[in-house]
Amino acid sequence: MTDNPFERRRSERCYALKFLDYEVLSDEGVVVDRGLARTLNVSESGLLLETGQFFEPRQKLRITLGLSEDLVQMTGQIVHSEPIDEEVCSAGVMFLEFEPDDRGLFQKHFQELKSALPT
């Protein structure tokens, strides 16, 4: 994606502030916590979120993301989590799976975001 040797992203990112609800899942798939966050950017394969909770790498989240008139649900895995300050953390999430029909809705909204960007 870039000439930066430290860049690990394989998908183009679009900067978008969207609110989301998340549920933290145990290894058995049981909801152990929940919270609210906002996206900082999104791609076809994941998103960067900002929240008041620190996550451990490989933790799984069930995410409900509001996109215009649609709610899209997906499951993702934390790739990295870093404190921004004493109260806020950012976390990179890799998508694992979408609810039926939601992948198409997400891709439609992502393409609309991409097309709205100046070239």
Q: Does 7 fall in a domain? A: no
Categorize the per-residue pLDDT at 27 as very low, low, confident or very high, splitting at 50, 70 and 90: very high
Instruction: Output the average pLDDT for the chain.
Output: 85
Question: Is 3 inside a domain boundary?
Answer: no
In a domain, 5, yes or no: no
pLDDT at 3 over 60: no
Answer whether residue 75 is part of any domain: yes
Instruction: Give me the CATH number covering residue 60.
Output: 2.40.10.220
| Residue 47 lies inside a defined structural domain of this protein | yes
For 42, the domain range is 14-116
Q: What is the model's pLDDT at position 15?
A: 55
Q: Can you tell me the mean pLDDT for 31-52?
A: 93
The pLDDT, as a whole number, for residue 100 is 84
Checking 97-102 for CB contacts under 8 A at 24+ apart, the result is 98/72, 98/73, 98/74, 99/72, 99/73, 99/74, 102/72, 102/73, 102/74
pTM value is 0.81
Whether residue 22 lies inside any domain: the answer is yes
Q: Establish if 25 belongs to a structural domain.
A: yes
Asked if residue 92 lies in contact with residue 59, where contact means CB atoms within 8 angstroms, the answer is no
Position 72 in a domain: yes
Given a cut of 80, is residue 22 above it in pLDDT? Answer: yes
Number of structural domains, the chain?
1
Which helix (H) or strand (E) element contains residue 99?
A: none
